[in-house]
Amino acid sequence: MTVDGTDYTDDVEPRTLLVHHLREALGLTGTNVGCDTSNCGACTVHVDGQSVKSCTMLAIQADGREVLTIQGLADTWDGEGSLHPLQQAFHEAHALQCGYCTPGMIMASLDLLAENPDPSDDEVRHGLEGNLCRCTGYQNIVKAVRAAAVQIRQGSTKSQEVPA
């Protein structure tokens, strides 16, 4: 599989979950495990451009596919090492406290904004209802996603590619 633009070839046990493969075999610990039961969304990554809770998918199901994690997100923006607008907006809007949910929130938000580039507060809340923040920082998360939406719309002409 390709993860964050790097090709990996590994033997994996059929029972290994994608999130465990990313964290333990590839050392990509930016993707978190909050529940292991598909409730919290902390493990959200993109597979072939679609957000997926990586604890609900086996590593072997990602065979030959392109995985994007929070650790590769910045590289998809301007190619110059800048944070992705979602990362920047979460930082500026104080949309994190402990930060445990943040990688999953951002990866789910990326999907949300690809489908709806100008969401209302309610649409952000609805789009992120599969992601839990145990610090309950939801108000600022909504603000951050909407701020990032503006940045992405304005910057999409200068960016290499707005990720799907």
Chain residues binding ligand FES by CB under 6 A are 33-36, 38-43, 53, 55, 96-101, 133-135, 137
Q: Which is nearer to ligand FES, 98 or 150 (CB)?
A: 98
Q: Report, in Å, the least distance between residue 140 CB and ligand FES.
A: 9
Residue 83 near residue 91, CB atoms below 8 Å: yes
Q: How far is the CB of 35 from ligand FES (least distance, A)?
A: 3
The rounded distance, in Å, linking the Cα atoms of 141 and 91 is 10
Nearest approach, Cβ of residue 112 and ligand FES (Å): 16
Pairing verdict, β 2-3 and 44-47:
unpaired
For ligand FES, the closer of residues 9 and 136 by Cβ is 136
Q: Is 133 exposed, middle or buried (0-12, 13-18, 19+ CB in 10 A)?
A: buried
Nearer to ligand FES, 135 or 150 (CB): 135
What is the smallest separation between the CB atom of 131 and ligand FES, expressed in angstroms? 8
Between 147 and 162, whose beta carbon lies closer to ligand FES? 147
Which residue is associated with the tokens 């994007």?
A: 68
DSSP 3: E
Nearest CA among 135, 112, 137 for reference residue 124: 112
